[in-house]
Every structure is written in C-alpha cells, then in structure tokens.
Structure 1
C-alpha cells in the first residue's frame, strides 16, 4: 500500500475517534466493568488449553492499587474488618440533614459499617443503580480529587463504598432487603422515612446529624478542643520556680489521691469492657467529619456516571472559545513568568528577613536569659531565696514581657509552617485546628496590643509633662509625705491608744531616717528626670500597651522598695517578739517546747528562772501593742502594693492571653469549638406510603367506613421509626476561660487561705503570687523548647517543597482510582 494512503487512513481513524471520544470512553468503562466482574477471566478459562496459563483473578482496580506497592502493603480481606455485627434487630441509619430537602428520586451512597448499620453520605440524582455500582468499582466517582482518596478510606476505616439503596423510588421492592433500603422524603417534612415492612421483624432507627463543613474547620469530637499546649508548659521552663507550702500540700494531696485510686483498681470486682459499638463511635464521628467533603467529590463526578452527550460547537462559539483561549493563554503566560522569576525571588528575600529577625531575637533572648552574677537573692516577687543563677527576666516585668514577645515571634514561622501543611491533605483531618486558633488568637492579641499601645503612647507623649507631674505628686504624696505623717501619728497616741513612747519614738525615728535618706537620694535622682522617663514610656507604648504597663510595674517595685523594707523589718521584729512571748508563756506555766518531738513537755525551773521569765514576759507583752501598730501599718501598705501589682499583672495576662478569637468563634461558629456530642430522642412519626395509587383511593371512597379503616391501616407503615438527633456540644464559656479560673483559684488559695491568714497574723513573710504563675498562663500557648534557626529555615523550605509536590500527588490521586480495596495504599500515610 502506498504510504500516503496509510497516512490518510490513520488521519481518518484518528479524526473519527476524536469525534466519537464519548463512545470510546464508554467502551473503556464497559471493558473495565466486564474485567472487574471476571467475564474475561471466565472466558479465558473456558477457551484455555490443557496446560492452564496464569489467569488474572482480581479486578483491574485492585491491580492499580497493588502494583505500585510492596507485598506488605496489600490489602487482605478481613485484615482490617471493623464491621460491628448488629444482633439487636435494629436497622440503624445515619442520615445527613441536608438530604431531607430533596424530593426527587436518587441513589443512596455511603458506608456500610455492618449489615444493619448504614452511614449515608449523599444521594446521586438522575443515575441508575448499576451505573453507580460500576462507577464505585472503577473509581469514576473519585476522579479529579486534589488529594489521595485513600486517606479518606483509611480515616473512615472502611475498605470500600457501597450503594445503600434508593430515595423516593416510585415503587419499593416487594422483598425487603436491608442491604438495599428504600427511603422517602416527604414534602413539608424534615425527616426521612425508611420502608421496613412488619414481616422483616426489624426496628428502624434514623440518626440525624448536620455534617460539619471541613472547609470552615468544623468537626465533631468526643474530647474538648485544647486551647493550650498542655500543663507541662506551665510554668515555663528555665524560670527559677519554687513551690511554697500551699503548693507542696496540694502536690502531696494529689499524690495521696492517685495512690488511693491505684489501690482501688486492684480491688475492683467487675470491670466493664467496652463493647464494639462503643469502640465504633470514634470511627462514626470520623465518618461524619468526612461526609461533607466526600459528598462534594461524589456530586462533582456525578455527570461522569451514565450516558454523556456533547453537542458540537457552532462557528460563533468556536470563535468565542478561541478568543477566550487566547486571552487565557496571555494571562497564563504572564502569571507563569511572575511565578517562575519574580515570586521565588520575593519569597527568598522574605525568608532571609525572617531568619534575620530570628537571629536578632535569639541574641536578645540569650541576653535576657543570661545568668546574673548573683548566687543568692531574696526577690520581692519570689517566695523563697533563690539559690542559683538569676536572669533579667526573673527580676523585671519589662524584661519578662520582652522575653514573651520574642518567644512568640520566634514561634510564629514554625506555627505558620504547621498550618500550611494542613493544605496538603483533606480538610476533614482536624489535626491543626487548635494551632490555628492559637496562632490567630495570638496575632489578634498582638494587633490589639499594638493598636491600644499606639493610642496610649500618643496620649502619653503629647502630655508627658503633665503626666510626669501627676505621677510625681502621687508618689510623693503616698510614699514619702503621707507615710511620714502616718509614722509621726503612730509616734504619739494613735486613735487614743497609749503606746510605749520610748519604743514608738525609736521605731518612728528609724523609719523616718530611712524615708528621709530615700527621698534625698532616689527621688532626687528620679523626679527631675521623670518627664524624660515618661516620654520614653510613651515611645515604648508603640510596641504595645503591655510595655508601659510592665515598665510601670517595675517602677512601682523600685519606688516602693523602702515600704517593702519596712514591712520585712517590722514583720521580723513582731514575729521574734511573738515567738519569745509564747516561749515565756510556756515557762510561766512550768512547760517547755520539745523541738525534737514537736510537743509541749513539763519542765522544772528554778525560782530565779521563773522570776526572770515572768519579768521578761510582762515587759514584752506590754511592748507588743506598739510593735503591732507599726507592723499592721506597713503590712497594710505592702498588701495595697501587692494588690496594685496583681492588677497590673492581670492586665498583662489579658493583653497577652485573652481568648478573644475563641470567644468570636463561640459566637460566630460554635462547631469549630467542639467539646463532645449530644444525642436527643425526637418524637416518633408514622407517615403513609408516598406511592399510593390515586385510582385506588377513588375506588375506596365508594366502600364502607370499615373498609376505609382497614385500607388506611394497610397503607400506614406498621414499623415505627425512631429519630435521634446527633449534635455537637460546643465549648462552654467556663471551659474557654478554664485557665483564668485556675489562676483565680490559685490566687484565692494563696492569699485567702487560713494558713496564709495565720502567717499574716503571726508576722511571717507573705510573698506575692510569683511571676511564674502569672506568666505561666501566657506561656501556655508556647512550646517548652523554642525552635532553632536551622529548624525555622528547614520548616520554611518544607512548605515550598510541599507546595511544589502537590501536583504529582494530585496526579497520582487521580490515576489511582479507589475501588473495593481502598485501604490497601493507606499505610504509607501512617
């Protein structure tokens, strides 16, 4: 044959195939359907010679799934079978509420957890059952998937998807088959109905639920969502945190309770082992979380099921299509050039800027965490003397705030990289929802802090002189002049109370001398420079309103250091005097305290010992009111300063850790904050069959009343259907502010407990609540160990690699259509 003739025939055949591409595609699907049902295998076995050749005895779908993986990854029937055999005679169907609005006929598609436990995903309209079954086997309904569909099969713990029955079919099957249910949705009713005749001896139960939208990060969960990283991050690591007596008692009580619970477990007689239905509840919730996304994929591929006809384009339509194609090609070319040359350069510069910022932040963090050359110090903010290294962030609220902000900025790139990874898989995997809430809550709080700080800084900078005069007047009035007047009043007869004039004069002159020296040195250095200090504070407000609050807290601690010294001195004198009085009182009674046995024993004293002890007891007892008056004065001043600092620390906690984003989600979309599930039993309904013949109704109208009642009883479905509503329980406001409630309980127990009141009355030192507790609430959303610079660079590059690899992954997910063995390739994502 002439070569030109061969070329002509080839072009003619190619053109014919291109024109009839829908026919070729249909033949391809029919061939796959025949191969999947073993038609070719049986034909090959029938016509095979005596020496049998190896025949493929599995479907092409299984071949596509297992050919690219090792033998250990192949799916074995029964290996992952989680079907719960239902033996209680109950047909249980999980039905989405959004499917009750349709009244047109369709095919129900979903998961079959067992023979009588069905989970409905969606209803495909205008298709046939055989076409849907063939599409599920071949994988037509899973085409054009952005991500591998095997992950959905693995998450739902099911090997394949089934046709569960029909919806609004005009004539139900005469023989009831639970594998092919017949459901109806009546007009005006929000509930579906399952046709179940009385001879089936089954009770129908429909669990209605609203499928969460995974694109909006909605999901259902048995456990409440965590807004913090965990208790192990509170207090933060690296702080010189020492528990006081109250916390030690709490820890001992907690350990005793845990030991008692462990002992009770050994004496338990009956143990309730969880049933298969209870173990299947998490799987059902995962199926509910995946229902919306899988339904959208199935509905998108529904036009691929059944016959498809495509009309040829006209001349005008071809011209329009060509023009649009030319415009799209030009736009695509420009976008390709931008993404190929400009965007990578900008992205690289942005990464370099992030790494530079991370290096500067790491340097500042090292300075703030550098141990000072102080081996032992008693801080006003600590409970006990700190033995060991002390850093700047441990003694200054301003340094602590800077340390917190730098920690947050250092964690943002890693946290954002973690959130970017969620786009590489299905949205039905709620693994990063907590990180999403923490990340944007932190960004929102920082933005609000900066906005409030700009407003506050502008006001302070514009009124620096007046603000400095106000602050100087208040400090001079309450810490110098007012305290001097109070001490002079105590040196006389305060409130008509007669004190010891010599002791009162001695203590008063001592305290007045310290106040005079303090005012002549510290105030002489600070007050003239107070306008400059206030202006610097106003400029620091542009970094956030938390900075001036922290600086004011440090200034308050510095300018009231003499009041703290007065409180410590008077408390120590009062405690010593009270201890000596108690010891002399025991001596006066002829007793003494046994320190080794911690008890009061009898003791024989000589006459001179009793006489000297009685004189000293009387002397100290009459001097006690004078010491008590000074002690109560400085203790009250110290408690007022502690209250003011606690108020400032509370403002810092609200600016740094207030759950503003969580509250917004609680009001706007509570399904994004799940805290459990709730089952509600609805009222039962008994509707009539929707396919009653109108002609039979007209004939029945001429019959008697008794026959009408009999026909009505026959028309009514005898089997009643129980309806249960499954809904998500949102996170309560109490749970959102759980950490604040814990902090308030800790403050209440620290300051208002009987032991603390006893310490205050006996003159023992009552320290304020440590900064580790107040800032532990804010550090709870940060990891214990911050990421290094190399880890940040690696996480930034992993995002780019993940984005570039989405194309091959999507292509592989489109080619590897899932059929009856979808979980075979699910192991690679474990």
Structure 2
C-alpha cells in the first residue's frame, strides 16, 4: 500500500513539473536535433541499448534469482511450530574444560537424541571412519545390540570461550569449523544434525536442527541432563526399582541360565538380544520401549566415551608430524612393555600345555570330589522318613543344626554360579546382574561376619566351659524340673484348692503321681549327663569356627533336648483332653438325637433306644465331672509348651536375621545410592546450576537462597509470587517470548514449558506421575494450571522457541525394598502363629506344630536334591569346568 502511495505522489509531481516548465517540448527538440550532432546520436544509441539490456535481461535475471532463493529457503527450512527436541546430555560435559568439538551419541528416533561425549581437536571425516571401525568391533557388538542403533556424529558443540585463549581467536576457529566443507556435506546427508552452543554458564542451548538437509525452525528443545553411570562401579539408571529378591529371578529361569555352560548362556543371550533388536526396529515400538532403549544408551555412554576418545587419541598420534622428547621416551617405553608382554605371552603359551596337567587338572579333580561329597550330603539331609515315622519329615528338619548345615551346603553349591552371573557382562539383563552381584557379596559378607562373631563367641564358651556348664545345669534344674514339680505338688495338695478349683480326688492324685514319676526319671537322666556338659559346651564353642549361626543352632537344639519331657507331657495331656472333648461332643449329640455322618461329613437325625440313652447319660455325667481336672493339667503343660515354643521362635528369628541381614546393600545405599536405583526422578534444573557448582562459594550461596525461598516468612512475599505468576501467564497469552522457570526462588512453574515438561514425561514412559518413575510420586504441582494452559490458543508463527532444562536422576531405593527378607520373615511368623488355626488347636487339644525352619529365601528349591539328580549335576559341573579351563587357556594364548 505504501508503494502505491509513493508512486502516485511521484507521478503527480512529474506531471506538475512537466506542465509548468514545458518538459515534453524540450525533449522533442532534443530528439529532433540528434541526427544533426554525431556525439549526441551515439549517446542516444548507448542509452537505448542500456535500457533494453536492463529491461530485457537484468530485471528478469534478478526476478529469477529472487524466486529461486525464496524457493530454496522454503525447501530447506520447515516451520515446525510446537515441535519438541529431546536431548539427553551428560552433566560432566557442562564444565569449563569442554572445548568445541563434534557430538557423539545415538539418535533414538525423530528429534530425540542421547549424547555420549563431545570429541575435540579432530576432523569430521576421520572421526566418522573411527566410529565405523568402532561399531564393527566385536567387543562392542553387545553395546550396539542393546542400544538399538549404532553411535553416530549427531552435530557440533560450539564453545565461544576457552581458558588461556583469546575470544576472537576462538570465534574465528569456530567459524572455520562451521564453514568447513565436510561439515556442510554431512549436515545435508545426516538424519539428525544438531548445532549446540555452550553458554558462559556451561549449559548447552540448541541453536539449529537439521534433518536430512532440511533446517527446522521454531523447534523447542528439552535438554535432559544425566549423571553418566560408571559400569565399573555397577552404576546404572533403571525405570523400575531394583529387585533384590533373586528368588523370583531364579524361579523364572535365570538360575537355569546361570547353571548352564558359558557358551550356551552366550548363545541364549545373543538370541534374546537379537529378538529385542528386531522388536525395537519394528514400527509398533511403544514409548516405554523408547525410554528403555534410551536408558540402555545412557548406561553404555561411559564405555562408548572411553572407546571414542581412545580412537581419537590414536588418530591424533598418527597425524602428529613431530614428537617431543617426552613423547618419544613415553612411546619407546610403551613399545618396550609391549615387546616384553609379547615375549612373556609366548613363554606362557609355550609352557601352558606342560603346566596344565600338573596344576589345573588336580585342582579340578579335588573340586569335583568336594562337589560330589556336597551333593551326597545334601541328598542325605533331604531324605524323608516314611509317613509312619516322624510324620514323614526330612532328616534336616529334625534339628536346627541340620537346617543350618543344609543352608551352608546349598550356598556352597550356589555361589560359583552366582559369582559367574555377577562377574559376566550381561548387557541384556542389567538389573538381574546387579541383583546377583549384590546378593553374592551380601551373602559372602554375612558368612565372613558370622565366622568372626562365631569365633569370638566360641572362644568365650571354651574358656568358660565349666562355669557355663554349671549355669546351664542350674537353669535346667530350676526351670524344667523343680518348677514343674512344684506346680504338680500344688495341684495334688489335699489342703488347698488350686486356682479355686476342687479337682477330682481320685483322678488328680493319679495324674499327679504319674507326671511326678516321669519327672523323676528325667531328672535322673539329666543328672547322669552332668559330666559331659562341659564337653557339650566345648563342642558348641568349636562350632563357632563355622559361624555364630551354627553355635546358635546347636543351642536351640540343646534347648529342645532339655525340654523334651515338657513336650512329652504336653502331648499326653493334649491327647487325653482331645479324646475326652471328642467323647463329650459325641454324647451331647446323643442327647439331641443326632449323630455324625462320617460319609457325608454332616450331622443327621437318629433315633436311640432307652438303654443307649441311659448309658450315654451315665458316661456324659462321669466325663463332665472329670473334665475340669483334665483341663487343669492340659492348661499347665500347654502354657509350658507355649513358653518353650516362644523361646525357640526367638532363636529362629535371630538365626534368620543373621542369615538375611542386608549388610552389603545398606553399605551400598549409604556409600553409592546409584548402585541401588529405586526408579527415575525428573527435576527442573536452573540455568546457573553448573556455573554455580564450578565455584564452591557461589554454590553454597545459591543453595542457601533456594532453601530460604522455599520457606517464605511473610504474606506479602506470597502475594508477590502470585502476581508474578499471573503476569507470566498474561505474557504467554500475548505471545511474548518466555523461558522455563528455573525454580531458583522455590516458586511453581506456570509457563508453557510446564506443558512441554508433562508432554516429555508422558513421551518418556507410560507413567501416570510426571516427576517420579518406579514408585509413588507426590502430587503434580502443575495440575491446577492444566485447564488454563489448554484454553490458551496461539498462532503457529507466534509460538516462542523455548529451552527447558531437566535433570534425570535415580530415586534411592527405599529401605522397605532392602529389608524385604524381614517382611518375608514376619509374614511367615504371623501366618503360622497369629492365625485362627493355632487358637483352634489350643481349644480342641490338637498338637501345636512348631514353625518350619526359616530357610534362606534366595536359594533354589531343595526338592531337586534327589539321588537321580546327582549324576547329571556332576556331569554338568565337570563340563563347565572344562569350558572355563579352555577359555582361560585361549586367553593365555
């Protein structure tokens, strides 16, 4: 519109001038006089030729060039309003030591990338060739399979500053790098090319994004920082909490994989990883799988970074034209060490076949014999009696010591396979490998501490065997003999009524004298064993060499032996009480004209004769008057039996705690929580986080500010926060450029980046809560802004390009998951004793069975120890030893 107005004004001015000064007549006279003058004629011809060239050639060429430029710009620039680029960036690269270089990582899909490292001081083409050779290396084949895609050059990181260098020189070097031909060609052909600039606060910012030569504009970026896990320390990120209970893993078949030979396990691992790779490459890949693949790439980033930098150093060393004296000395030393090691390798390779028959073979034979003895011992311990003897229980269930011996023998068989699982590099089951590692070293630590405590306790018992023998005899005599004799004397006394009850004068003395006679027999037997009590104490002390648990098991068995007469008395009293209660119930049904139908398990009506009713009445009356005396004796020995069971349950609990205490897991939880991931947590990262962290004083000040901002002291500060939030939402509605709040003041984020944050979390995994992955999360602080943000509509060209910074960290594993053994122990104790069946046994006179021995929960099922399984197990053990020996021989060669 403005052009037309200017043109009209110029036309009006030219017409006005032409009318007043006769411009047209002057031009006509000049043209008429041209043929008369030669130089004027040539000047006119030249002017006409230039006008013709300008109109016919120059103007069309200028129009065509502008059109082609606009078309090329439209072709290679796409307006992707609302698109989000997710970049996983290692936090150790956000420091003052980073230099301009090429970004190495994985392109998950679309605009999602996981960065492993930044390589500086190397050209692009040699770096691409080095990555190609690295991906074809068999050593990194497992990494490539697990990560889903091969690592590539994802872009360039521009650092406008450098310590000890001029800013102008750094800028010129960066400009030359960006204008290099290889970079421009790779940018046109790469699936994803990122240009990232490192700000003075050491935080990256996405400057441009190219995909297959197309430049995408208005792309918002979400840079997610992560602390690079160190696989040497068994650190890793996991979407799900680490499960320390390997009994579920063993039940699912992982134990079978561990028990297999290494080659077979490797084949199964390759097949499973190839299947997972095929699944990841399919079009139906879910978002959760993308998150799992990204986590695998993050877990592999450390080794990939080390390998890439090693390749880069080799390339730089080859490219160097001259070497300094120190480099020459160092390289000569390296060459000398390589030659020495090669000579030693030749020597070992030559001597290995001669040494092997005299060293390794005898060791294998000894291990095979020991394993055979252990398998036979386990079979003997798990052998069960016939059903008519000891209720068909196994030999190990008779004594607590037998259970403990069975436990240690099972651990001795299980530890080699568990060690093999913990030490091998299993890329497909990181959580399983870590759980096996923690379980193995936790059991080793427990056994070591158990032996240390047992030796100390055994030394105390051996040095004080006489005193401990006297104390044991005194307590046994006082509490198991004299106390029960006193109670029986009180029950059979003629001048007193025990507990206000008048017992039957004929039945009471009979039962009292019977139990007194049995107690006297037991007392004589115990007195005859007094000379060997110090020897028993010495045996318990010597068993401390096998651990305090073995000594505690023998003490539990000694308690069961010294209270054996109480168990007999309880069984006799309970059987009499149960018989009499059953007879009374049957006679009561006779009075009602009922009888029990044993075939249909119900009560039916029945007609009885007069003599049957008379006999039933006499028997019912007799048993009713005798029943209180039976109840008194039954309650006496039942309470004694319950007291003994409580003591045994206490010892079993202590024994189980010693066998199950997660000592190694607690040490890892306190020392390095990244080894025990409890899920993922996303936190908003301030832009000055890494800059403040580089300066300790600035870091302390910023931390104090954030803490003080989280606890406002006045109401005015809260009102000011609400006003700032409302103003920020109004700015977003007006289409102004906004940025993600950094939470430095402790306020909630109400910007549009909050929506992108939730979208990121929704895309990363199929979790309902945005901040936490793996366990319960707090309330979403953005929930009350959803409706407002969704109601806002903005034009695509006015959507601002924002950058969001998040930090991906592990949530610490909760203590409840670490102490899962104790929850299992409590469930077993409560399900056995705190039930209605125990109360029913007490009221009906049935036998209260003691709880089965609390077996270690993370061992394979002991039912496999049969006579038919010994031979296949030994054959498999020998074959595995042979394969390990062959692998070691190949490594030595």
Q: Show CA shifts across 1:276-299 (max 9, x none).
A: 322322211211110111011112
Partner Cα distance (1:667, 1:350) in 2: 41
Partner Cα distance (2:250, 2:222) in 1: 46
1:97 corresponding residue in structure 2 = 91
1:136 corresponding residue in structure 2 = 131
Give the superposed CA RMSD: 4.2
2:649 corresponding residue in structure 1 = 646
1:264 corresponding residue in structure 2 = none
Are the counterparts in 2 of residues 233 and 784 from structure 1 also a CA contact under 8 Å? no
1:718 deviates by 3.8
State which of 669, 673, 683 in structure 1 corresponds to 2:672: 669
1:376 corresponding residue in structure 2 = 387
Larger relative helix fraction: 2
State which of 553, 557, 568 in structure 1 corresponds to 2:571: 568
Are the counterparts in 2 of residues 214 and 289 from structure 1 also a CA contact under 8 Å? yes
Q: What is the DSSP-based 3-state SS (H/G/I as helix, E as strand, rest coil) of the residue aligned with 1:230?
A: helix
1:663 deviates by 1.7
1:646 deviates by 1.8
Q: What is the DSSP-based 3-state SS (H/G/I as helix, E as strand, rest coil) of the residue aligned with 2:109?
A: coil
State which of 274, 296, 300 in structure 2 corresponds to 1:286: 296
Are the counterparts in 2 of residues 686 and 721 from structure 1 also a CA contact under 8 Å? no
Partner Cα distance (2:805, 2:200) in 1: 18
Are the counterparts in 2 of residues 196 and 204 from structure 1 also a CA contact under 8 Å? no
Partner Cα distance (2:289, 2:334) in 1: 55
Within 5 Å, which residues of 2 pair with 1:574-653? 574-653=577-656
2:738 is the counterpart of 1:735: no
1:828 corresponding residue in structure 2 = none
- Could you tell me which runs of 5 or more consecutive residues in structure 1 were left unpaired when the two chains were aligned: 1-85, 235-272, 380-384, 688-708, 809-830
Partner Cα distance (1:538, 1:628) in 2: 42
Within 5 Å, which residues of 2 pair with 1:711-750? 718-750=800-832
Partner Cα distance (2:286, 2:663) in 1: 40
1:275 deviates by 5.8
2:149 is the counterpart of 1:158: yes
2:491 is the counterpart of 1:490: yes
Partner Cα distance (2:845, 2:669) in 1: 48
1:351 deviates by 6.5
2:470 corresponding residue in structure 1 = 469
State which of 198, 202, 211 in structure 1 corresponds to 2:228: 211
Are the counterparts in 2 of residues 212 and 220 from structure 1 also a CA contact under 8 Å? yes
Partner Cα distance (1:430, 1:539) in 2: 40
In structure 2, relative to structure 1, the CA distance for the partners of 1:654 and 1:355 (3 Å cut) is farther
Question: Relative contact order, CA 8 A, sep 6+: which one is greater?
Answer: 1
In structure 2, relative to structure 1, the CA distance for the partners of 1:602 and 1:430 (3 Å cut) is closer
Q: Show CA shifts across 1:581-638 (max 9, x none).
A: 2233333344444444444444444444444433433332332222111111111111
Q: Show CA shifts across 1:381-413 (max 9, x none).
A: xxxx22xxx653232222332232223223334
Q: Show CA shifts across 1:787-809 (max 9, x none).
A: 8444444434433433454589x
Are the counterparts in 2 of residues 112 and 162 from structure 1 also a CA contact under 8 Å? no
2:843 is the counterpart of 1:761: yes
1:480 corresponding residue in structure 2 = 481
In structure 2, relative to structure 1, the CA distance for the partners of 1:332 and 1:806 (3 Å cut) is closer
In structure 2, relative to structure 1, the CA distance for the partners of 1:89 and 1:783 (3 Å cut) is farther
Are the counterparts in 1 of residues 245 and 820 from structure 2 also a CA contact under 8 Å? no
TM-score w.r.t. length of structure 1: 0.68
Are the counterparts in 2 of residues 369 and 392 from structure 1 also a CA contact under 8 Å? no
Partner Cα distance (2:351, 2:486) in 1: 76
Q: Show CA shifts across 1:116-170 (max 9, x none).
A: 1111111112334454334434x3x679x7x622222111111452333434365
In structure 2, relative to structure 1, the CA distance for the partners of 1:290 and 1:795 (3 Å cut) is same
TM-score w.r.t. length of structure 2: 0.64
In structure 2, relative to structure 1, the CA distance for the partners of 1:586 and 1:682 (3 Å cut) is farther
1:438 corresponding residue in structure 2 = 439
Within 5 Å, which residues of 2 pair with 1:11-410? 89-102=83-96, 103-137=98-132, 139=133, 148-168=139-159, 179-188=192-201, 191-195=203-207, 200-231=217-248, 276-305=286-315, 308-312=319-323, 345=355, 349=359, 352-353=362-363, 355-360=365-370, 362-363=372-373, 365-367=375-377, 369-370=379-380, 374-377=385-388, 379=390, 385-386=391-392, 391-410=394-413
1:332 deviates by 8.1
- Could you tell me which runs of 5 or more consecutive residues in structure 2 were left unpaired when the two chains were aligned: 1-79, 161-170, 210-214, 252-282, 691-730, 740-798
Are the counterparts in 1 of residues 458 and 542 from structure 2 also a CA contact under 8 Å? yes
1:466 deviates by 0.8
Are the counterparts in 2 of residues 228 and 780 from structure 1 also a CA contact under 8 Å? no
